[in-house]
Amino acid sequence: PHYAPEICAKTSVVDFTVTMKGLEQQILGRVIEKERYELEEQRHSVLTDVATNKKMVQQYERDLLFRLSESKGNLLDDEMIAVLQNTKKAAKEVAEKLVIGEMTEAKINEAREKYRHVG
């Protein structure tokens, strides 16, 4: 919408429009919530886990970079090697969880697609 500059200066215009795809996803979520509640709960859980794991990977990367930048002297000392090994191990575990989570999410989305063409 087009408003006069005086109005725009005193207000905040909020766009509440929803795309057709977004609306379709919301409705699909509601249908599945009614028909197969456990599937939608599992989907929310997997999405939360994947997001958490991605944040953990970023945190490991930031922590490692910080330690490397703050390191004084030889980068090959025992403490730095231990930090690198622990970070590598933790990152590998999180990466495995991410793969499992993404595979689970794909299976859930496949099951959700069966409900897409209603009517």
Q: Is residue 69 part of a domain?
A: yes
Range of the domain at 39: 5-113
Within-domain flag for 118: no
**Does any domain span residue 27?**
yes
The reply to whether 119 falls in a domain is no
The reply to whether 22 falls in a domain is yes
Question: Would residue 99 count as lying in a domain?
Answer: yes
28-82 per-position pLDDT tens digit: 888 888 888 888 888 889 889 888 988 888 888 888 888 878 877 776 777 777 7
- Kindly state the percentage of the chain with pLDDT values over 90: 0
Long-range contacts of 53-62 (CB under 8 A, 24+ apart): 53/94, 53/97, 53/98, 53/101, 54/98, 56/90, 56/94, 57/91, 57/94, 57/95, 57/98, 60/87, 60/90, 60/91, 60/94, 61/91
Please state the pTM of the whole predicted model. Answer: 0.62
Whether residue 119 is predicted with pLDDT greater than 50 in this model: the reply is no
In a domain, 91, yes or no: yes
What is the number of domains present in the chain? 1
Average pLDDT over residues 4-33: 86
pLDDT score recorded for residue 72: 76
Average pLDDT over residues 82-101: 85
